Amino acid sequence: MKVTIKDVAKKANVSPSTVSRVIANNPRISDKTKEKVHKTLKELHYRPNVIARSLVSNKTNILGLIIPNSNENLFKNPFFIDVLRGISIYAQKHGYHIMYTYSKNEKEEKEYIQEYIYSNLVDGIILLTALENDPIIKHLKKEDFPFAVIGRPENTDSILWVDNDNFKAMYELVNHLIAQGHKDIAFIGGPSEFMFSKDRLKGYKMALSAKGYIVNDDKIIHESGFDVNSGYRACKKIFKNFSPTAIVTTDDLLAFGANKFLKEENIKEVEITGFNNVPTYEFQSHSITSIDIDSEGLGYSVAKLLIAKLNNQEMINNHIIVETKLIDRTSK
Amino acid sequence: MKVTIKDVAKKANVSPSTVSRVIANNPRISDKTKEKVHKTLKELHYRPNVIARSLVSNKTNILGLIIPNSNENLFKNPFFIDVLRGISIYAQKHGYHIMYTYSKNEKEEKEYIQEYIYSNLVDGIILLTALENDPIIKHLKKEDFPFAVIGRPENTDSILWVDNDNFKAMYELVNHLIAQGHKDIAFIGGPSEFMFSKDRLKGYKMALSAKGYIVNDDKIIHESGFDVNSGYRACKKIFKNFSPTAIVTTDDLLAFGANKFLKEENIKEVEITGFNNVPTYEFQSHSITSIDIDSEGLGYSVAKLLIAKLNNQEMINNHIIVETKLIDRTSK
DNA sequence: CTGAAAGCGCTTACAG
DNA sequence: CTGAAAGCGCTTACAG
């Protein structure tokens, strides 16, 4: 049988209120009764019923995660599991639990959010991605419910977010290639509505124009997915008209796809770079230069921001930038 | 403001009890009041407070997932994300939510389980792996709390589990190799305390002896992890004394590591096989034969079993075998 | 068919 | 410093 506060009270010869106060470490309880109650608490292996507690406190200490199960394959991407771990590790340390829900589309996403909010299930929501003009972010803002986003939102007003500096990471990467002598660099991206897609593209453009190179929009290809096939298709399109010496992509899987095309066509000496530093089991032919985004750090930080807010902690910043790292595997 | 059953009752001019009964679709309510109440329910956008409901029903409709965050790297393995998805998809369809917790070791694992159980947070627990003489399974059995396991437990008495037929999958794979003319086949496994490790090893041994080959224990290597480095080390050990024509492994990452060693040593024409059919971005040098285990199906099925039990459904079987598929990429 | 009452296991203002 | 009481938002046996 589960033991309740009443059982403890009876055994310790005090009232339930007193037991509750001892548990809450209320300062007005005498050391003597504190000790006595603590003893029976131990003896009976008492554990508070969090559901009852939630009902009165109106807090569940649960964070809800909305995972888009879309066809862009983004969340089959290996980095994602590290995000989950990062979130959980911070949350557990601070007494929060994590709940997750897959949703197939925007409609379902909104539905689950309503459910999370109005059934009183969660105290806050974590979003795993930010789109341009993001309908979910708007919705959450309108509902005025605590949430935090992985990815810099378009309009950052009063919203909590965590991200890499995608602009800077791509900017530096392109600079790195230029320093190696590359003058003709193409760009392959996934769906452009993701904010990180936009930021990486900006970094690419800016790096080129800062050195006086002309940005040729025909060398910029966006595909509908973040997968190997999309990379393959994009690379094919580029080489129909051009022969760049390097291609930057916004995701390792795109890079792998591009590589596949080059290999099939027996095109050599083109440098391909990716993003996310996905494990490629390096025994295989060759690995690519990539940007390590510290997925676990992203998860950890987003949980940190949201929990700080839920505890009404003073925050200096409404966002955290997680450092990236250029993993150089260029052939030179 | 959140709207409660009282608000609805007042507006619809009935008692709270009646509103509750309408929501529960109690047959003794007249169609007329049913209609009336449903209308105001809609108008006020009423959503039940699941916490309050849980307090009286003593059910939360939440399933708890314990994820070992051990150093064997097993749960950084890509197949794992598909398991999560499978669990969630079935659960959501049936009105359950999923909560997950990482735990560093057995002690933490037990702690979190106690918390899940005695704080009344979850209705059932899902375990992602079964060990030989598994202390967590024992513990859960002793607590007599509903749970289900991915992986066949050593003692299946009255416990719910889901698994591939690991014995059969490996048995058939080795047979397949033998049919291709291989006579000298070595074995590389990860930690042997996992039940699937044992089953796969048995399949290997049985396939050999069924054909009259002698099983040589020196050609069976177990390493402490399921990662590339472990595979590399194991392969090195094997080739110190032998030169098998094929090596079967219990995980693709082990296979990749073995492959790496062979490549470095310039050893050709050794067939390596894996398990899990991890994506290798096939543009790379060559892909390996592997067993697809249908990770999503494993997750889906384990949720199915556990939820059936929680709803006291009649069960014909206390387990589900998820079909595997040999993905043949052998060079012949 | 419907309502008033009790209760799920806690917390907390009120009173002493 | 401690207890009795009310209340969080539901469900459900009891009564009519």
- Do A285 and A312 belong to one domain? no
Q: Is A42 on the interface with B (CB under 8 A)?
A: no
Q: Given a cut of 90, is residue A277 above it in pLDDT?
A: no
The answer to whether position A57 is within a domain reads no
Q: Which residues of B80-108 are buried (b: 16+ CB within 10 A; e: fewer)?
A: bbbbbbbbbbbbbeeebbbbbbbbeeeeb
Position A190 in a domain: yes
Q: Please report whether residue B57 resides in a domain.
A: no
Residues A200, A239: one domain? Answer: yes
pLDDT reported for residue A166: 95
pLDDT tens-digit series, residues A106-156: 888 999 999 999 999 999 999 999 998 899 999 999 999 999 999 999 988
| First-to-last C-alpha distance (Å) of chain A | 69
Q: How far is CA B54 from CA A54, A283, B49, B172, B258, in A?
A: 11, 53, 9, 48, 52
A66-70: average pLDDT:
83
In a domain, B55, yes or no: no
Q: Are residues B176 and B206 in the same domain?
A: yes
B288 and B307 in a common domain: no
pLDDT in tens, A172-194: 999 999 998 999 999 999 999 89
Q: Decide if B119 and A49 are in contact by the 8 Å CB cutoff.
A: yes
User: Chain centroid to CA B189: how far?
Assistant: 19
Is residue B209 assigned to a domain?
yes
More reliable by pLDDT, B289 or A88 = A88
User: What gap in Å lies between CA A248 and CA A127, rounded to an integer?
Assistant: 27
- B95: domain range? 62-165+295-323
B215, B242: one domain: yes
> Is residue B286 over pLDDT 60?
no
- C-alpha angle B249-B254-B256 in degrees, rounded to nearest 5: 110
Same domain for B271 and B309?
A: no
CATH number for the domain spanning A39: value is: 1.10.260.40
Q: From residue A142, how far is each of A101, A114, A130, B43 by CA, in Å?
A: 21, 12, 16, 19
Mark whether A135 and A228 lie in a shared domain: no
Min CA distance, A88 vs chain B (Å)?
7
Residue B90: is its pLDDT beyond 90? Answer: yes
Q: Within window 1-30 on A, which residues have Cβ closer than 7 Å to strand D? A: 13-18, 21, 26-30
B256 with B308, same domain? no
Residue with more model confidence, B288 or B42: B42
Rounded CA gap, A95 and A298, in Å?
Answer: 19
Tens of pLDDT along B177-199? 999 899 999 999 999 989 999 99
- pLDDT computed for residue A106 by the predictor: 86
List pLDDT tens digits, range A207-246: 999 999 989 999 999 999 888 889 999 999 999 999 999 9
Q: What is the CATH number of the domain that holds B113?
A: 3.40.50.2300
| Structure-token pair, residue B88 | 């969630």
In a domain, A123, yes or no: yes
CA B274 – CA B251 distance, rounded (Å): 5
Would you call B78 and A80 a contact, using CB atoms and an 8 Å cutoff? no
Nearest C-alpha of chain A: how many angstroms from B69?
9
A153 and A212 fall within a common domain: no
Please give the single-letter amino acid code of residue A140. L
Name the residue of chain B whose CA is nearest to A103's CA: B89
Q: Is the CB of A4 under 7 A from strand C?
A: yes
Looking at residue A177, what is its pLDDT?
A: 92
Judge whether B42 and B32 are in contact, CB under 8 Å.
no
pLDDT band for position B228 (cuts 50, 70, 90): confident
Q: In what order do the strands lie in the sheet with B124-127?
A: A319-322, A160-164, A147-150, A124-127, A62-68, A97-103, B97-103, B62-68, B124-127, B147-150, B160-164, B319-322
Q: Region A268-293: what's the mean pLDDT?
A: 77
B156 shares its domain with B176: no
Residues A299 and A285 in one domain: no
Distance from CA of A135 to the nearest CA of B (A): 21
**B292/B73: higher pLDDT:** B292
Residue A11 domain-assigned (yes or no): yes
Q: Which nucleotide is nearest to B34 (CA to C1')?
A: C1
Lowest mean pLDDT among A55-64, A286-295, B215-224: A286-295
pLDDT band at A75 (very low <50, low <70, confident <90, very high): low
For residue A135, give the H/E element and its range: helix A135-143
- Cβ atoms of B172 and B329 within 8 Å: the answer is no
* Cβ neighbours of A213 (radius 10 Å): 15
On the CB side of A36, how many CA atoms lie within 13 Å of its CA?
15
Closest among A296, A303, A299, A301 to A124, alpha carbons compared: A303
Q: Say whether both B70 and B132 belong to one domain.
A: yes
Please compute the mean of the pLDDT values over residues B65-92 and round it to a whole number. 82
pLDDT higher than 70, residue B79: yes
What's the total number of domains in chain A? 3
Interval B41-70 mean pLDDT: 92
List the end-to-end C-alpha distance of chain B, in Å, as a whole number: 69
Q: Which two tokens stand for residue A263?
A: 């290999």
Question: Is A330 among the domain residues?
Answer: no
Provide the pLDDT for residue B282: 54
In this prediction, residue A278 has a pLDDT band, given cuts at 50, 70 and 90, of confident
B173-192 in b/e burial notation, b at 16+ Cβ within 10 A? Answer: bbbbbbeeebeebbbbbbbb
